[in-house]
């Protein structure tokens, strides 16, 4: 049998077009990321120097540095993770390891997904109502961290759940077969295997939390507070909110524009560093528990 | 030879699926029994009766008797299940060492059952690794991760892990199907060594393997035990036409 030559050509052309389009789109997305980074770096790097990183803001936030905002963001990230990580991991363990298949488990999973879709400003309002007013924490690092923690919770829960699900069942069975209890098996076998992927959840959550403005708006962020917080009951500045303030509601928006780009630059760098550290950590653990 | 294990008219359902249909079979002590049959015939499910691994699957119902040394292991208190599992070791299809050192993999079963005497653990680990014919290959790297071993070594480590708590029965679910011929040979040699002390049940898809290592063979088909006899008899002069068809490769 002879097949028409034209069909071969059409197949080749069709593939070439399809792959070409996919390639251009995927490269375009990378290019977009670089464009954003380039823009931030170009505008911001001139402003960033030692003083910018270590000094208090001065002159209506048009001069000086953003030290308190940097520290504030670090406190908030640490505080929110201190809350969201253990709670989220435990919830993920419950959903994947203990909850019986059925309507209740499906409901919990569905609600976790819904929680992830709630707009962050709603978290902010909820945090204000519950932590700031009801529980009487006032606008404080504690209230802000808890609010950010709530926002990060669904991410941590979902990634923990997925990480546990990807652990092959024969690992659990091998432990049970040796007389291991469920809890012992989870602690000694399942969690160590899932750890690298759970850490990925932490990375994602840190990235999300460090850039959020709305949840801290009413719960912790200070408009202008040129000193470091003394305790977790104090307010603090934070990078995303600082950026928002000096870009929109300062008295001298034009004059503080370079400060805004500098702030954006620092925020991006902090997120990149955190991601990098977490990735290194993940690879380190990943090598220790490599699957066959 | 005494019968170590015996099942009497065992039926097992997963939800609506009737996976085992009235299996009656007696497994003699200190020998190797092979379970053969096409995929989905129930042989792995049958194997998992003996350490109650099927209990972990929701909607499983089991009727009939499963006797170990004459005692029905489905009538024991749930608090005794861990003790049962200590007595019945298991080796899986894919080597699945824990994400721990070689030493800790073998020590796992001791630690999980509350043994803390370190010198006892060290002795037991060394003894067991000798038994699993792995000691010479790993004695200088006991602290290294088990994942650094080859697939065949990992599987022998998993056998050592099962032996460390001194079970009397070992269940093997296609223990060599993921291994190369050389590693498979070593596992088979090991099975041959172990049968003087242990009652071994091995599920296999490999007819030659069943022929080489086992004393008795059971042929499963669609949830039923079609034939159970001495391996030699099964492979040279099976009583049932289905068995002969399967062994000679005409179906399955």
Give B96-112 pLDDT, tens digit per residue: 999 899 999 999 999 99
| B7-41 as b/e: b if 16+ CB within 10 A | beebebeeeeeebbbebebebbebbbbbbbbeeeb
Query: What are the φ and ψ backbone dihedral angles of B86, each rounded to 5 degrees?
Result: -65, -30
Give chain A positions within 8 Å (CB) of B92. 170, 173-174
DSSP B79: G
Q: What is the pLDDT of residue A287?
A: 62
B 147-166 residues inside an 8 A Cβ radius of A: 147, 151, 154, 158, 161-162, 165
Residue pair A62/A128 in contact by the 8 Å Cβ criterion: no
Residue among A100, A172, A178 with most chain B CBs within 10 A, to mutate: A178
Residue pair B23/B201 in contact by the 8 Å Cβ criterion: no
Residue pair A79/A149 in contact by the 8 Å Cβ criterion: yes
Q: What is the mean pLDDT of residues B215-239?
A: 93
Lowest mean pLDDT, pick from A229-233, B22-26, B45-49, B192-196: A229-233
Cβ contact, residue pair B82, A170, below 8 Å? no
Residue pair B204/B210 in contact by the 8 Å Cβ criterion: yes
CA–CA separation, B238 and B221 (whole Å): 15
Residue among B60, B93, B99, B113 with most chain A CBs within 10 A, to mutate: B99
In whole angstroms, how far apart are CA A231 and each of A20, A75, A234, B34, B116? 56, 11, 6, 69, 44
DSSP B78: G
Q: Which residue of B has its CA nearest to A180?
A: B112
Q: What is the pLDDT of residue A290?
A: 47
**What confidence tier does A165 reach under pLDDT thresholds 50, 70, 90?**
very high
Q: What is the mean pLDDT of residues A50-69?
A: 81
CA–CA separation, B216 and B1 (whole Å): 12
Where in chain A does DSSP place strands (E)? 57-58, 63-64
**Is the model's pLDDT at B252 over the cut of 60?**
no
CA–CA separation, B180 and B176 (whole Å): 8
Nearest-CA distance B121 → chain A (Å): 15
CA–CA separation, B217 and B235 (whole Å): 9
Helix (H, G, I), strand (E, B) or coil at B61: strand
Residue pair B62/B11 in contact by the 8 Å Cβ criterion: yes
**Which of B90, B96, B112 lies nearest to residue A171, judging by beta carbons?**
B96
Indicate the pTM of the whole model: 0.81
Residue pair A275/A200 in contact by the 8 Å Cβ criterion: no
Cβ contact, residue pair B162, A177, below 8 Å? yes
CA–CA separation, B26 and A266 (whole Å): 73
**Is the model's pLDDT at A123 over the cut of 80?**
yes
Q: Which residues are CB-contacts of B93 (< 8 A; sequence separation ≥ 6)?
A: A170, B173, B174, B175, B177, B178
Helix (H, G, I), strand (E, B) or coil at B77: coil
Residue among A164, A179, A181, A286 with most chain B CBs within 10 A, to mutate: A179
Length of chain A: 292
Q: Which residue of A has its CA nearest to B93?
A: A170
Cβ contact, residue pair B108, A178, below 8 Å? yes
Q: Which residue of B has its CA nearest to A191?
A: B99
Q: Please, what sign has the CA dihedral across residues A26, A28, A34, A37?
A: negative
CA–CA separation, B142 and B152 (whole Å): 17
Q: Is B179 part of the contact surface with chain A (CB cutoff 8 Å)?
A: no
CATH number of A50-288: 1.10.3720.10
Helix (H, G, I), strand (E, B) or coil at A16: helix
Write down the residue that tokens 């060492």 correspond to: B97
Say how far residue A118 (Cα) sits from the centre of its chain. 15
Residue pair B131/B137 in contact by the 8 Å Cβ criterion: no
Residue pair A72/A237 in contact by the 8 Å Cβ criterion: yes
Give B11-57 pLDDT, tens digit per residue: 999 989 999 999 999 999 999 999 999 988 999 999 999 999 988 88
**Is ipTM over 0.85?**
yes
Q: What is the mean pLDDT of residues A95-106?
A: 89
What value does the mean pLDDT of chain B take? Answer: 91
Residue pair B188/B34 in contact by the 8 Å Cβ criterion: no
Q: Is B92 part of the contact surface with chain A (CB cutoff 8 Å)?
A: yes
Q: What is the mean pLDDT of residues A17-23?
A: 95
Cβ contact, residue pair B158, A184, below 8 Å? no
**Is the model's pLDDT at A292 over the cut of 50?**
no
Q: Which residues are CB-contacts of B77 (< 8 A; sequence separation ≥ 6)?
A: none
**Is the model's pLDDT at B120 over the cut of 60?**
yes
- CA distance between the termini of chain B: 32
**Strands B199-203, B169-173: parallel, antiparallel or unpaired by DSSP?**
parallel
Q: How many CB pairs under 8 A join A and B?
A: 78
- Name the region of A208 (left: φ>0; alpha: ψ -120 to 50; beta: rest): alpha
DSSP-derived secondary structure for A149-212:
HHHHHHHHHHHHHHHHHTS-HHHHHHHHHTT--HHHHIIIIIHHHHHHHHHHHHHHHHHHHHT-
User: Which DSSP helix (H) or strand (E) runs through A270?
Assistant: helix A257-288
Cβ contact, residue pair A292, B147, below 8 Å? yes
**Which of A101, A174, A181 lies nearest to residue B58, judging by beta carbons?**
A101
The structural domains of chain B, ordered by start, are 3-247 (3.40.50.300)
What value does the mean pLDDT of chain A take? Answer: 88
Q: How many other CB atoms are found less than 10 A from the CB of residue B1?
A: 10
Domain-by-domain residue ranges, chain A?
A: 1-44, 50-288
Q: What is the mean pLDDT of residues B187-200?
A: 92
Q: Which residue of A has its CA nearest to B48?
A: A177
Q: What is the mean pLDDT of residues A93-101?
A: 90
Pull the structure tokens for residue A234. Answer: 């104090």
Residue A47: name the closest of A246, A256, A259 by CA.
Answer: A259
DSSP A94: I
**Is the model's pLDDT at B166 over the cut of 80?**
yes
Give chain A positions within 8 Å (CB) of B88. 177
Give chain B positions within 8 Å (CB) of A184. 112
Lowest mean pLDDT, pick from A91-95, A274-278, B129-133, B166-170: A274-278
Q: Please, what sign has the CA dihedral across residues B34, B39, B43, B44?
A: positive
Cβ contact, residue pair B96, A291, below 8 Å? no
In whole angstroms, how far apart are CA B136 and each of A87, B91, B125? 46, 21, 13
């Amino acid at each position: 049998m002879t097949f028409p030559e034209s069909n071969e050509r059409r197949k080749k052309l069709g593939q070439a077009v399809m792959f070409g389009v996919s390639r251009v789109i995927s490269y375009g997305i990378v290019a977009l990321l670089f464009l954003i980074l380039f823009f931030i770096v170009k505008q911001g790097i001139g402003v960033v120097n030692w003083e910018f990183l270590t000094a208090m803001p001065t002159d209506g936030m048009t001069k000086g540095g953003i030290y308190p905002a940097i520290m504030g963001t670090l406190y908030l990230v640490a505080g929110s993770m201190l809350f969201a990580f253990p709670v989220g991991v435990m919830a993920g363990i419950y959903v994947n390891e203990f909850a019986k298949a059925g309507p209740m488990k499906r409901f919990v999973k569905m609600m976790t997904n819904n929680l992830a879709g709630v707009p962050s400003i709603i978290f902010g309002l909820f945090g204000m109502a519950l932590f700031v007013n009801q529980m009487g924490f006032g606008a404080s690092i504690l209230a802000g961290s808890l609010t950010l923690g709530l926002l990060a919770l669904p991410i941590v829960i979902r990634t923990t759940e997925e990480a546990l699900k990807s652990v092959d069942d024969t690992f659990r069975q091998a432990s049970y077969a040796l007389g291991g209890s469920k809890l012992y098996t989870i602690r000694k076998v399942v969690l160590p295997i899932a750890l690298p992927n759970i850490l990925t959840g932490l990375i994602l959550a840190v990235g999300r939390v460090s850039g959020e403005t709305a949840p801290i708006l009413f719960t912790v962020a200070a408009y202008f507070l040129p000193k470091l917080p003394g305790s977790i009951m104090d307010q603090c500045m934070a990078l995303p909110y600082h950026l928002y303030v000096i870009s929109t509601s300062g008295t001298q928006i034009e004059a503080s524009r370079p400060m805004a780009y500098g702030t954006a630059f620092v925020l991006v760098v902090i997120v990149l560093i955190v991601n990098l550290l977490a990735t290194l950590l993940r690879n380190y653990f990943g090598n220790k528990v490599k699957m066959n | 030879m005494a019968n170590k294990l015996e099942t009497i008219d065992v039926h097992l359902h997963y939800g609506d699926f009737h996976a085992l249909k009235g299996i009656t079979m007696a497994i003699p002590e200190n020998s190797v029994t092979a379970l053969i049959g096409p995929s989905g015939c129930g042989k792995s499910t049958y194997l998992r009766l003996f350490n109650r691994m099927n209990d972990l699957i929701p909607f499983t119902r089991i009727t009939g008797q499963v006797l170990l040394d004459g005692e029905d292991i489905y009538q024991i208190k749930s608090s005794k299940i861990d003790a049962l599992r200590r007595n019945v070791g298991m080796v899986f299809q894919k080597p699945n060492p824990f994400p721990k050192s070689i030493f800790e993999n073998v020590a796992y079963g001791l630690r999980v059952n509350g043994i803390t005497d370190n010198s006892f653990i060290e002795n037991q680990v060394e003894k067991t690794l000798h038994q699993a014919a792995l000691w010479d290959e790993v004695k200088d790297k006991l602290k290294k991760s088990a994942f650094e071993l080859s697939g065949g070594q990992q599987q022998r480590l998993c056998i050592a892990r099962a032996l460390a708590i001194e079970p009397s029965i070992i269940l093997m679910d296609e223990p060599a199907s993921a291994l190369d011929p050389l590693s498979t040979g070593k596992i088979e040699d090991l099975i041959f060594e172990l049968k003087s002390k242990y009652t071994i049940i091995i599920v296999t898809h490999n007819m030659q393997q069943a022929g080489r290592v086992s004393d008795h063979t059971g042929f499963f088909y669609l949830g039923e035990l079609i034939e159970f006899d001495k391996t030699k008899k099964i492979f040279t002069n099976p009583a049932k036409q289905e068995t002969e068809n399967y062994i000679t490769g005409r179906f399955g």
